[in-house]
Structure formats: structure tokens, C-alpha cells
Chain A
Amino acid sequence: MKILVPVKRVPDPATTIRVLPDGSGIATDNVKWVINPFDEIAIEEALRIKEKQGAGQVILISIGQQAWQEQLRTGLAMGADRAILVRTETPLDPLAIARVIAKVASDEQPGLVIIGKQAIDDDSNQVGQMIAEFLGWPQATFASKLELAGEKCTVVREADGGLETVAFALPAVITTDLRLNEPRYASLPGIMKARKKPLLDITAESLGVDLAPKLKIRKLTAPAKRQAGRKVASVEELVAVLHTEAKVI
């Protein structure tokens, strides 16, 4: 089975994010770029399925610029078989990203698309569900456990107030939550091998889908900073100030 895993390049989660003074974007000097952590979990899950089935192909796809090759190479070093970089110089909105991935999926015919539940930069949590709808496939978002038996897929999802189990036949779209697995690191031989793995470089325009952004970011601002308060010396003092000063207990 082919498994398609979309990968996004994002600032390392430990980065302190600063908005540019003119509100046009964020400062990118000194930013270390990594694979979106949820997409790493997606890659890991795809690799485990392939290893368990003893056959198949894990294909990575990114929609971005030249530099995004770095993250694709990292994913290939983890063990993915090949990668597709869909080039665009202007950032696309989630709807257009989903259209691009759905188009590639309809060409590649994977049994599964596994994708992170959200990207830790824009925090949208939209693309997986949109791909599922564009393809007319079932979806299981926020997956914490995935089981495959032939063509049937059973997924345990992190819902509010508990865990929900859904089932469906493949092909399908799965979005990963934190507890699905712990991603492996790329090994040294993996990194060597990754250099020779195929990385297809195409333009977004060549896919013939609508790319015009309909979600427009007008400006970015920094939120008001919360002021640090004070230290209290004892539990007694803490409870007293909560009672008399903050009046919350």
C-alpha cells in the first residue's frame, strides 16, 4: 500500500516567535526550521504500517519553497521512500493546500493519507479534514491508535470527554495526535541513503488546481504581554492573598 504523508516546514517549537514591526510576518532570522512535530508522528505511523505489512511505499509531500527540501530529506532519512516538493513562491491557504494534496493523492492513489492534526505555526487544524472531503474519503482526526485489518481501518480518536472509535474501509485520511507514537530519529545510514532517494520537484501551477487564497491575513500583531506578579513566602500567605486580594477562593 502507498501512504502519502504531507509534511510542513515550521519553526522549531522552542523558538521565541516575534512579529515584525510592520505586522507583515514573523522575524525569521535565527529561526531553526523543523518538520511540524505532528507530521513527524504521521511519518512514523506510515513507516510502522509499511514495516508491519512488509511492503508498500511511504511518499512525502510538501508545498513550499526550495528550502523545504531540507525537511523532506529529513523525512526520507527517517525511512520514507520518496518525496514530492510542490513549489510555490507565495504561501497558500489551507483550502488550496488541501486541493494540491488531494490532486496528488488522486494521481498517486494511496491507501492512506496520514497528516498532522495541526501545524504548530498557523494552528489551523484544517488541511486533513479538507483533503478527506475533496477526495470523498472517510476521515479520522486526532488519532491515538490505528489498526489495519485488510481493507478495514479502525481508529481510536481523542475526543472531548473520552476516546471515540470509528471504522471504515480504505482509502482514508488520518490526522495524528500526540499519543499515536513516538517518532524515530533519522539514523546516520538513513541520512546517507536519503541523499539518493527520489525527490520530485514540480510547480503548484502544473497541477491545474485553484490556488487563489481565500483566507487572507491582513496583519499580525503581538498579543498583550501578561505581567509577572510576585512571589509569596508560604502556603499560608498564598491562600490568604487568594482569599482577600484576588478574591477567588
Chain B
Amino acid sequence: MGDVIVFVEHRGGHFPKTTLIGINAGLELAAKRGGSCSAVVAGEGADTVAAEVAKYGVAKVIVLEEPRLAHYLADAAAQALAVLVKSTGAETVLATATALGKDLMPRLAARLNVPMASEIIAINDDGTFVRPMYAGNVLATVELEGPVRIVTVRGTAFDAAKPAAAVAPIERVAATLDPAGLKMEFVAFNEIKSDRPELTEARIVVSGGRGLKSGENFKSVLEPLVDEMGAAMGASRAAVDAGFVPNDLQVGQTGKVVAPELYVAVGISGAIQHLAGMKDSKTIVAINKDEEAPIFSVADFGLVADLFKAVPEMVEAMKKVKH
């Protein structure tokens, strides 16, 4: 009773750090519910991932074997997981609220005909969860009623699992799929390669907004600061919509949620939708020429200045700090 299954996301055998956050949340939930926590992994490279995940304190790792799960697709994955959930009698199925987790888990919930809580940020002792609503302006305590419960966890709300003393056993399970329910086809993944840290994993995030005025300025003005600080780069929706930077850099209510040690907002006004994605950062810096900009209401340190002057200065000042 009270068992938890954590769905492990990966791409070709590599998993993001957010996966370990999901595992940690799963371990916490299982401990509170008096059950055990297993991880489940499928697809190309699953063996490598399973061997790695087995080190992080889970009771076991299940590898779902089935050639048609080679590349993740929502319909096939939901089918395979639903069968597994029924056969194991798990109480909760959990995934990190990444793009993939958000795509899959509601489909699984519907397949099992059970409710789901999205992006939980806390697990209460009484079995309820806490999740943000209204761009983080409201926290709801929710209860899921059903033989099975589905949750996604917000990556910023839990720590990553740490390696444990024992390595978990790996169990191979042949997945059963009903071919009639497999209607989706994977065509291509157009990866945006970057040498910078992952936005959701970085210790420092430097984000730019509409104030940067162009994609060229992101390159020539903001990126030197990003790199000097060893940071990940983020952006406001306005900057993404204008095509200055790729979609997956958007921080906010409807983009990525980050909580680094240091968040530097450059030329970003601080709309509630943006704040929703970064207001839990440890230290927030805002550089904006408008002293009334709402971003200053959440900033620990605010600099009222023209970014085109301040950012290059900051690059130079950073060099001095480092040497």
C-alpha cells in the first residue's frame, strides 16, 4: 500500500537533473504513505538510464520493454504505463512537470480514469498536495480521490535525489500494447544545442526581455554577461515572441519555472506571468531603466540604468571579481 511509481524521462539514455528531483519527491511521498518507490523507464537507452537511476535510493527500477516504445509518444507510453500501474497496484504515479511529463501524465490519468494534480510543490502528511494556481498567486491544497493518483512535481520545489548506499535491482517487464491505440508517429526532434548550463538546472540564470530590442543585441550585449557568469540564458515571453531567442528559453507561468541561486533580469518589466517563473529564486537582480518597473518589487538588488551601458560594465566588473 502507498507505493509510488516514478516515470523516468530521458533522451537516448541521458536524463535531465529534473528526473532526480522527481525521484526524490517520489521517495518522500512513499515514505509518508508507508510504501515503496520504484522507477520506471522505457525507450532507446533505457538500460543505461536504469543502471544510473538504480543508485538513487529507489526500491527497484522497472524497464518497460517493447520496440514501439523506442521513441516517446504519448499514446503508447500512457497505454504501457496504465497496464503496469494496474499490475503493480501502485497508489501514485509521479513525473516531473517537464514538457514530457505534462504531455503524458494527464493522458495516463484519463486512461486509468483517475484524477491528477499538476505541478505540486509540497506533499502534506495527510496525503494532500499543495499546488500553485493563477500564476503562483494562489496556493491550493488539493486532495485526489481514487484508487490511483497521478501527480507531476514542480522541479524547483524539491531537491534532487542523492546516491544511496544500495543499488536497486532492475526488473524487465514486457509491455503490452494494443496496436489499435497507437496512432502517433514521431517525425523529428530539432534539438537546440547549447554549451551553456540547462535553464532549469543552472546556479545562475541571466534573462533578457523586450528591452534588449533584437536578437543581435541578445548575442552582442547579453550573452557576454551570461558566459562571464557561467549562467544559463532565459527570456521573457515578449523576447521569445519577437523571435530574439528560441521558445524553450521562456521563463514564466506558461514557460519554464526556475529557482536558481541568482536570477538576473535585464530589460524585463516583471509582469505577473514572468514573476511566476522566477520569484522563488534565492537572489534576484533587476536591471531596468524604468524605476517604476514591477520587477523591482521582487528584486533583492535593483539597478536603474540603461542596460546597453550597464551590462557591458557588468561584464568588466565580473572579470575583476573572478581574478
Contact = CB atoms under 8 A, between A and B. Distances in A.
B139 A222 contact: yes
A162 B192 contact: yes
A144 B247 CA distance: 9
A42 to B, nearest CB: 14
Contact of A216 (B75, B145, B302): B145
B138 interface: yes
A142 interface: yes
A217 B142 contact: yes
B69 interface: no
Contact of B118 (A123, A158, A226, A229): A123
Contacts of B253: 120, 123
A148 interface: no
Give the interface centre of A94, A162, A220 by most chain B CB atoms within 10 Å: A162
Contacts of A246: 262, 283, 300-301
Interface residues of B, number: 90
A26 B135 CA distance: 13
B299 A229 contact: yes
A133 B240 CA distance: 31
A94 B138 contact: no
A196 interface: no
Contact of A130 (B110, B134, B143, B145): B110
B301 A242 contact: yes
A218 interface: yes
Contact of B247 (A138, A179, A217, A229): A179
A225 B170 CA distance: 45
Q: State the majority secondary structure of interface residues on A.
A: mixed
Nearest to A23: B141
Interface stretch (A47-55, A71-79, A166-174, A187-195): A166-174
A141 B107 CA distance: 11
Interface string B136-150: 111111111110000
Interface string B294-323: 001111111111000010011001101100
A239 B241 CA distance: 31
Measured as residues with beta carbon below 8 angstroms from the partner, the interface class of chain A is 35 or more
Contact of A220 (B99, B140, B299): B140
B145 A160 contact: no
Contacts of B75: 132-133, 138-139
A162 B191 contact: yes
Interface stretch (B30-38, B43-51, B52-60, B181-189): B181-189
B301 A95 contact: no
B283 A248 contact: yes
List the 5 closest A-B pairs by CB distance, nearest first.
Answer: A229-B300, A133-B110, A129-B106, A126-B106, A214-B115
Given A95-B114, A130-B106, 9 more contacts: A13-B272, A17-B138, A122-B134, A123-B135, A154-B187, A161-B192, A163-B189, A177-B247, A229-B299
22 contacts: A13-B273, A26-B134, A38-B254, A95-B114, A123-B132, A123-B135, A129-B105, A130-B106, A134-B110, A138-B184, A139-B75, A142-B102, A161-B192, A164-B186, A167-B184, A179-B240, A215-B142, A223-B137, A230-B302, A239-B317, A248-B282, A249-B229
